[in-house]
């Protein structure tokens, strides 16, 4: 009996041990299965992530490939366009030069006009490429000059009237309201913006014409160029401002040019503190609007000359020394200045120029920068040390990136002109530096016209009385507040307020009082 119990106990223990072993094995197997499932799931997730990453990489590579192909195509179009734009004016210059050499009966005035216009086209092309480079490197310089705004606008419009007429188009010029006689801005950059906008309007218009409308109020101008061309699709309105782009339309792609005009225009407008925007109606035309701050000077310069042709100057003879290693440059200056009565000396290098200056004691030196041997900057320093402040030194160089206005104490020169030089600009520079009064053909010195008298409605009378009262007290803040209220409540007073604000900013209360005395 006891033996049976013992055997039962042993069997039960063995059964329990076997069951425990099986349980442990089952649990272990289950844990291993779970771990395998987790490992498999993790591996699957890693594979899915890798597949997604590969897809993203493939998409990025495809996008980069498309961008590279587009950039390569744009580069090809750009090179083809540049080649065409350079060869066309060069062909005209080359052809007319050969005709003149052969002694053909071509009118010199016609040949000269074609050659000059072709050279201007090449100059503008080079300047456009340089401007893009300067913008990208952050070295584009802006000048503040006194600009005759009406004259500038007239010149630009007349420049394109012939081009528009040749295509059978009209070109209208509308001044909406008053234009100041003078404004302060960078004349070259403003002219470049206007030329780009009008050039595009004429270039892309086949029927109808273009209209330039100018509005001026509160020291700012709104200049609109509207055309009746094919219009611009909505998706291209911003794209056309990118370099080397001109829209996707076939007609636009076939137009001459390199696609820099609008890109430069927008950049220059922003640098000058303005903006260019565009609206368009496909099939009906486009409108480019330039908004720009153009402050009017407190007083216009007196005795400004408006002339057709300079024939000489008043006073004793002046001596001009030209130091330039380019015989063509010295020849042009000689032909321009000697007939006007100047004594002109030439030197082809810095050392010869310094020796010649000792001999001729010039009143003004036109000095190139890049010459064999001594740099123009070094020559200017030596000239200044030898002759003092009485000698006027004007740098005339093709190194536009070295532009430095001068007369600020850091450089020895007085002014800077960039090649190729506009001869009228050169004469203006010489007159300013030497204080000359030109003798002109069929014209006289014309002083800037006085501003026209202003007439305001009776509703403005209380505000004018308040302004006079505040002026007697010297209450500048009261004057400023009254001007704001006057412009708001009496819209006809905008021109008067535009005249008074600069005087107030300069605390010129006497000038402000004189302006008010002219109001009817």
**CATH number reported for the structural domain that contains residue 435 in this entry:** 3.40.50.2300
Please give the sequence-ordered ranges of beta strands (E in DSSP) within 81-140, or none if there are none. none
User: Cα(20)–Cα(14) distance, rounded to whole angstroms?
Assistant: 10
* 157 and 284 part of one domain: yes
> Is position 67 within any domain?
yes
Please check the confidence at residue 310 and state whether its pLDDT lies above 50: yes
> Is position 246 within any domain?
yes
Residue 407 pLDDT grade (very low, low, confident, very high; cuts 50, 70, 90): low
> Is position 302 within any domain?
no
What is the model's pLDDT at position 10? 73
Look up the CATH number of the domain holding residue 82: 1.10.287.130
Please check the confidence at residue 15 and state whether its pLDDT lies above 50: yes
Please, are residues 511 and 502 in contact by the beta-carbon 8 Å criterion? no
DSSP 374-397: S-HHHHHHHHHHHHGGGSEEEEEE
Please, are residues 87 and 55 in contact by the beta-carbon 8 Å criterion? no
| Domain containing residue 428 | 309-441
CB atoms within 10 A of CB 433: 18
Angle formed by the axes of helices 261-271 and 108-137, nearest 10°: 60
Buried b (16+ CB within 10 A) or exposed e, 158-173: ebbbeebeeeebebee
Which of 138, 172, 202 is where one domain is finished? 138
* 165 and 287 part of one domain: yes
End-to-end CA distance of the chain: 144
Mean pLDDT within 58-73: 74
Structure tokens given for 458: 């009776």
User: Cα(223)–Cα(212) distance, rounded to whole angstroms?
Assistant: 7
* 284 and 171 part of one domain: yes
* 214 and 131 part of one domain: no
Which alpha helices (H) appear in 299-402, and where do they start and end? Answer: 327-337, 350-360, 376-387
> Is position 303 within any domain?
no
State CA 22 to chain mean position distance.
Answer: 89
* 190 and 279 part of one domain: yes
* 258 and 364 part of one domain: no
Nearest to residue 219, comparing CAs of 278, 297, 126? 297
* Percent of the chain surpassing pLDDT 70: 74
User: Cα(162)–Cα(156) distance, rounded to whole angstroms?
Assistant: 11
Mean pLDDT within 154-158: 81
What is the model's pLDDT at position 106? 67
Please, are residues 320 and 362 in contact by the beta-carbon 8 Å criterion? yes
Positive or negative torsion for Cα 176, 181, 186, 190: positive
* 130 and 152 part of one domain: no
Which of 293, 327, 352 is where one domain is finished? 293
Structure tokens given for 94: 């080359």
Counting the structural domains of the chain, the total is 4
* 316 and 423 part of one domain: yes
The residues facing 215 across adjacent strands are 176, 222
Backbone angles phi, psi at 6, to 5 degrees: -65, -45
Please check the confidence at residue 425 and state whether its pLDDT lies above 70: yes
> Is position 300 within any domain?
no
> Is position 122 within any domain?
yes
* 490 and 354 part of one domain: no
What is the model's pLDDT at position 72? 65
Backbone angles phi, psi at 519, to 5 degrees: -85, 130
What is the model's pLDDT at position 231? 86
Tell whether omega for the bond before 472 is within 30 degrees of 0, i.e. cis: no
> Is position 298 within any domain?
no
Structure tokens given for 68: 């590279």
What is the model's pLDDT at position 89? 67
Which of 85, 112, 138 is where one domain is finished? 138
**Three-state SS across 420-470?**
CCCHHHHHHHHHHHHCCCEEEECCCECCCCCCCCECCCHHHHHHHHHHHHH
* 115 and 200 part of one domain: no
* 434 and 332 part of one domain: yes
Nearest to residue 295, comparing CAs of 145, 116, 399? 145
Look up the CATH number of the domain holding residue 266: 3.30.565.10
* Percent of the chain surpassing pLDDT 90: 9
Residue 38, CB-side half-sphere exposure with 13 Å CA sphere? 6
Query: The pTM is what?
Result: 0.47
> Is position 504 within any domain?
yes
* 57 and 195 part of one domain: no
pLDDT top residue among 48 and 35: 48
Structure tokens given for 209: 């014409």
């Amino acid at each position: 009996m006891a033996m049976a119990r013992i055997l039962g106990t042993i069997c039960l223990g063995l059964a329990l041990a076997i069951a425990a072993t099986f349980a442990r094995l089952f649990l272990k197997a289950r844990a291993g299965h779970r771990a395998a499932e987790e490992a498999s799931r993790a591996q699957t997730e890693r594979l899915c992530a890798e597949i997604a990453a590969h897809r993203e990489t493939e998409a990025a590579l495809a996008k980069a490939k498309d961008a590279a192909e587009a950039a390569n195509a744009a580069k090809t179009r750009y090179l083809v366009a540049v080649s065409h734009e350079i060869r066309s004016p060069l062909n005209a210059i080359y052809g007319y030069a050969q005709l003149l050499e052969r002694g053909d009966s071509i009118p010199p005035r016609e040949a000269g006009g074609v050659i000059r216009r072709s050279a201007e086209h090449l100059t503008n092309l080079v300047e456009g490429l340089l401007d893009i480079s300067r913008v990208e490197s952050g070295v584009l310089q802006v000048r503040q000059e006194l600009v005759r705004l009406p004259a500038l606008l007239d010149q630009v419009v007349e420049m394109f009237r012939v081009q528009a007429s040749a295509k059978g188009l009209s070109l209208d010029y509308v001044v909406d309201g008053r234009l100041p006689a003078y404004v302060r801005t960078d004349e070259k950059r403003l002219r470049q913006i206007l030329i780009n906008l009008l050039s595009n309007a004429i270039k892309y218009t086949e029927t109808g014409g273009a209209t330039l409308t100018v509005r001026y109020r509160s020291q700012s101008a709104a200049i609109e160029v509207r055309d009746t061309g094919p219009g611009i699709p909505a998706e291209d309105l911003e794209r056309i401002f990118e370099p080397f782009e001109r829209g996707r339309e076939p007609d636009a792609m076939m137009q001459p040019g390199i696609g820099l005009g609008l890109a430069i225009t927008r950049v220059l407008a922003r640098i000058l503190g303005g903006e260019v925007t565009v609206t368009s109606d496909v099939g009906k035309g486009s409108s480019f609007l330039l908004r720009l701050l153009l402050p009017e000077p407190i007083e216009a310069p007196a005795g400004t000359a408006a002339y057709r042709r300079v024939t000489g100057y008043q006073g004793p003879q002046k001596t001009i020394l030209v130091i330039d290693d380019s015989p063509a440059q010295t020849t042009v200056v000689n032909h321009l200045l000697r007939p006007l009565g100047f004594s002109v000396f030439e030197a082809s290098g810095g050392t010869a120029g310094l020796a010649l200056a000792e001999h001729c004691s010039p009143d003004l030196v036109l000095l190139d920068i890049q010459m064999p041997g001594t740099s123009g900057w070094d020559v200017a320093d030596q000239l200044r040390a030898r002759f003092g402040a009485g000698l006027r030194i004007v740098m005339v160089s093709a190194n536009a990136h070295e532009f430095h206005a001068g007369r600020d104490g850091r450089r020895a020169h007085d002014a800077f002109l960039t090649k190729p030089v506009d001869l009228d600009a050169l004469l203006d520079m010489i007159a300013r530096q030497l204080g000359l009064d030109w003798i002109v053909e069929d014209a006289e010195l014309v002083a800037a016209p006085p501003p026209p008298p202003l007439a305001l409605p009776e509703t403005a009378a209380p505000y004018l009385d308040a302004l006079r009262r505040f002026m007697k007290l010297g209450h500048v803040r009261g004057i400023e507040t009254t001007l704001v209220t006057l412009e708001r409540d009496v819209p006809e007073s905008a021109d008067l307020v535009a005249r008074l604000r600069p005087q107030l900013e300069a605390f010129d209360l006497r000038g402000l009082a004189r302006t008010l005395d002219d109001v009817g």
